[in-house]
Structure 1
Amino acid sequence: MLLKRSRSSLLQIRWKYWFKPWQQMDWLLLSLPVGLTIFGGIMIRSTELNQGLTDWWWHWLIGGIGCVIALLLARLRYENLLQWHWITYTLTNISLTAVMIVGHSAKGAQRWVNIFGFNVQPSEFAKIGVIITLAALLHKRTAANLDNVFRALAITAIPWGLVFIQPDLATSLVFGAIVLGMLYWANANPGWLILMISPIIAAILFSISWPFTIAFSEDLKFGLLGLIWSVAMGIVGWRTLPWRRFYLSAIGAWGLNMFGGELGLFAWNHVLKDYQKDRLTSFINPNADPLGAAYHQIQSRIAIGAGEWWGWGLFKGPMTQLNFVPEQHTDFIFSAVGEEFGFIGCLVVLAVFCLICLRLLHVAQTAKDNFGSLLAIGVLSMIVFQMIVNIGMNVGLAPVAGIPLPWMSYGRSAMLKNFIALGIVESVANFRQRQKY
């Protein structure tokens, strides 16, 4: 009897010894993405059932490797990233520059580098580099001061520009979401954040001709909605910018939006590729080109609608099994969920993502320092934006942007990046102040 008790005690000691490095980890935060990865592999298998492909197997393999990396990162102190943040930033920019030199193109964009026979997308890992760099910059000098905001924007501008000229508009938008989320968490005035994104909205509104447009040339047009928006932003600048002379704030914000509108028109006419224009125009009016640029989105909506409440069942969705939805295993994996598991299945997937976001927010709130908190918020901003845009484009509420659904869409670089980001957040959770009992 005593021998059994001693063996049991010895096993408990060994168990505690081996798992002590992960004692404070948020196991729910890890298990939910693992569950999504497994489910994502099943859905990828469904989209490829009649094609003889093995992307579902690769999805699980890369997910398993990513999970191991996340567990290893959770054991390492995240504070060490502070010492290496400039090196991380430099490597990020070097990798993005290498894409333009030795990278190869696909679908009109040069985004991939071949490493030992595998295509690696550096822009995915650049998201983590930007998160680490911004967290290091803002953890002591908060965004409550405009100088620090401009400093953070200037640092982000280099990798953002390198990604934008690949061209990879979708990833550059993810960078913007990360910056906005982290600046807000670092006490930036919400009015400043509105002013930051206002030129993009102005660029859209300036191109809308309703109810009338004043046109001086092809690149110089003034839409009424754009003018109204610019005046409104002038008022926001007057109320929020800390300049002594209020008219400088108002005129500066108004001029920024006027310039943004004209820059948007110039980019439309001379910068954006044809496929990028097609994606935007097909989103606004999908029936204008139902067999061309709008085909993906229309087919996705039909598949989701066909699922009704409970879906057709796994491996039984006609749109999925007959391959009517292009790129379904990557950008449009959510349409397979909608068709085969219906509205209820979509709600379950959304609930899992919401729970992941809540756990990320909890880690940010309970982190022992600003650096760890900002790291968690950066990852949260990245996941939320990618989830909203991907699901939005599947149901027709957002233009097709080529943004994968985290842990579910097939994509080896994206999968590894998501688990690396998760491992960094788990390190923040693991090295919080020990709870007292």
Structure 2
Amino acid sequence: MFWTTLLRQRRWQAWLYPWRGVDWSLLIAVWLITLIGALFIHSAELHIGDKDGFQHVAVAIVGTVLALTLARIPESAFIGVHWFVYGLSCALLLAVSLFGVEANGAQSWLPIAGFNLQPSEFAKISIILTQAALLHRVPANGLAGILRVFIATAPPLLLILTEPDLGTSLVFGAITLGMLYWANARLGWIILMLSPLVAAILFALPLPYELNLWVWLLWTLAMGIVAWRSLPLGWIGAIGGIVLNLSGAGLGQLLWSVLKEYQKNRLLMFLDPDKDPLGAGYHLIQSRIAIGAGGLWGRGIFQGTQTQLGFIPEQHTDFIFSAIGEELGFAGGLLILFLFWFIGLRLLQIANSARTDFGSLLAIGLFSMLVFQAVVNIGMTVNLFPVTGIPLPFLSYGRSALLATYIGLGLVLSVANHRPRSRY
């Protein structure tokens, strides 16, 4: 009996050996939050009888198989295929612009074999892989490394903007800034990259004109000082930083003119959703009611009135957190935040212990994507951010988004799996 048991143990150990370095705690946390997502997708759709919660689990199973398959491959192998993946991603995005299906005001889906594929979700993983490879070769402590990243990011970003998909475009920005920072770009440079957008927002704030103007000018002056301290051109760089931010007003007007009408309404209703309680502000008002009604412990699973009566449109996708907040309450919301914190922590630990800069950047790219999406989506449901259509990772229903995120997880598990054994 003893020898039989020992033989079985050795067989299991031999079978699991290719995954001996995988971060199982990260994978377990991801599966736990995915199952919570499936449960509340089912709850949000109980009144209409859809089965998307079961599809969510099915896609997660396929994603787990892909993730564990990728985890067996050394991370160095992914460097050699990054241009192929990048080219395929751009080709799919181009196909969307030509043959895509429109829904909710955006032409983002590509019908393939009876399924609607959303290439922009896979483009997020493609750009993480591409930027990691580029920054592995030329770090961001010089302008050459930063320009290479911007040039590679521009084509897929422009294709996504033409859909138009503003939410995914913002995720691209978060990924790029996070990876540049990790690749030793100066903090001042990153601030200057963001400064025109901030200047545009400050110029458009609903404040008295004189106060608005002073806030905008003070910000512009501050960015001139940042440029003077961080750019190698001295006063020339400072003047460039000031001019860049002075153009923020024009940038804001340009961005506003290219937005679709529904996107403008989302931004306006974020400031005051009660202006149109039955129209553009309806989602935000109902989401706040649902989360507030949950109290400390929630109304119970399948017991939330806002959720079960379908008061909130798209509650199984963009507004899944409102269903969790109503039925599990403040405690359930804290559980979700804790799981995201733990996943982010594990990704940072993998990034710190990776054996190559490429592997470290892969982990940081996924970290930037998940954290940004979680913060914006949850903030959106409580009216801290405008409605942008950014899904909540692992929780929102969306087959392409979930599968792409699991593929990104597989790349990071490969980094963890092939770390030097002495690191953990």
Task: Give runs of aligned pairs for residues 21-170 of structure 1, distance below 5 A.
Answer: 21-170=18-167
- AA at the equivalent of 2:238: A
1:231 paired residue number: 221
Distance in structure 1 (CA, Å) of the matches to 2:151 and 2:71:
30
The answer to whether the aligner puts 1:19 opposite 2:30 as a matched pair is no
Cα deviation digits, residues 63-101 of structure 1 (max 9, x gap): 111111111111111211111111121112111111101
Q: Which of these residues, 339, 349, 353, is aligned with residue 340 of structure 2? A: 353
The answer to whether the aligner puts 1:186 opposite 2:183 as a matched pair is yes
The answer to whether the aligner puts 1:262 opposite 2:259 as a matched pair is no
Between 363-372 and 287-296, the greater mean CA deviation after superposition: 287-296
Cα deviation digits, residues 240-281 of structure 1 (max 9, x gap): 1111xx22111101111122321211221x211000100101
Say how many residue pairs are matched.
424
The TM-score, its normalising length taken from structure 1, stands at 0.95
Answer whether contact 2:138 2:144 (CA < 8 A) is retained: no
1:250 paired residue number: 238
User: C-alpha displacement at 1:51, in angstroms?
Assistant: 0.9
The answer to whether the aligner puts 1:241 opposite 2:219 as a matched pair is no
Answer whether contact 1:96 1:123 (CA < 8 A) is retained: yes
Identity of aligned residues (%): 54
Distance in structure 2 (CA, Å) of the matches to 1:309 and 1:361:
31
Answer whether contact 1:202 1:257 (CA < 8 A) is retained: yes
Answer whether contact 2:353 2:423 (CA < 8 A) is retained: no
Answer whether contact 2:288 2:382 (CA < 8 A) is retained: yes
2:417 paired residue number: 430
SS, match of residue 247 in structure 2:
helix
Structure 2, gaps ≥5 residues long: none
Answer whether contact 1:45 1:56 (CA < 8 A) is retained: yes
The TM-score, its normalising length taken from structure 2, stands at 0.97
The answer to whether the aligner puts 1:363 opposite 2:350 as a matched pair is yes
Distance in structure 1 (CA, Å) of the matches to 2:49 and 2:253:
45
1:217 paired residue number: none
Distance change (3 Å), C-alpha of 1:436 and 1:289: closer
1:218 paired residue number: none
Q: Which of these residues, 2, 5, 11, is aligned with residue 5 of structure 1? A: 2
1:372 paired residue number: 359
User: C-alpha displacement at 1:435, in angstroms?
Assistant: 3.0
Structure 1, gaps ≥5 residues long: 215-221
Cα deviation digits, residues 18-69 of structure 1 (max 9, x gap): 0000000000100111111111111111111121111111111111111111
1:219 paired residue number: none
User: C-alpha displacement at 1:209, in angstroms?
Assistant: 5.6
User: C-alpha displacement at 1:6, in angstroms?
Assistant: 2.4
User: C-alpha displacement at 1:150, in angstroms?
Assistant: 1.8
- AA at the equivalent of 1:413: S
User: C-alpha displacement at 1:213, in angstroms?
Assistant: 6.1
- AA at the equivalent of 1:363: I
Q: Which runs of 4+ in 1 moved over 3 A?
A: none
CA RMSD of aligned residues (A): 1.5
Answer whether contact 2:120 2:160 (CA < 8 A) is retained: yes
Distance in structure 2 (CA, Å) of the matches to 1:358 and 1:344:
21
